[in-house]
Amino acid sequence: MLKSVSARARQCHEWASNARQRALESTDPVSRDEYLASEVRWLKLAESYELTERLTDFLNKPAAFPKHPECPNCHVPMWLVAIESGCEKVEYLYECKACEEKAIVTGQGRDLGT
């Protein structure tokens, strides 16, 4: 799907370029203004396609959090209860809601985009 969005944005840029060229070739001031306004509309549409692509890409990225560990006592997924971030590492504190066992998972500082 992202490739079709990029293709749409490229097409809008081409149509904007065509409108700009027609404006430059036009001797009628009213026609020139209409072509320039058309160029602006095509560029705004291209921008909206590009924004949609960036948002879709961002929303489809997997979460930076590590997989929830399994409680060694109960064998159920533990809940993430706290995150402590430093320059070099990130610590994720997990807790079992059944038996209150705690676990700390350490990750790299870049896990949360730091």
Q: For the segment 75-102, what is each residue's pLDDT rounded down to a tens digit?
A: 888 999 998 887 778 888 999 998 989 9
Distance of alpha carbon 33 from alpha carbon 96, whole angstroms: 67
Distance of alpha carbon 8 from alpha carbon 105, whole angstroms: 43
H and E: helices and strands count for the chain: 2, 3
The predicted model gives 31-35 an average pLDDT of 96
Q: What percent of the chain has pLDDT over 90?
A: 48
What are the backbone dihedrals phi and psi of residue 62, each rounded to the nearest 5 degrees, phi first?
-65, 155
How high is the mean pLDDT of the chain? 85
User: Lowest-confidence range among 10-14, 46-50, 58-62, 71-75?
Assistant: 58-62
Reported pTM: 0.52
Kindly calculate the radius of gyration of the chain based on its CA atoms and give it in whole angstroms: 26
Interior angle at CA 73, CA 68 and CA 74, nearest 5: 70
Query: Is 74 in contact with 81 (CB distance < 8 Å)?
Result: no
H or E element that contains 84? strand 79-85
4: number of CA atoms within 13 Å, CB side? Answer: 1
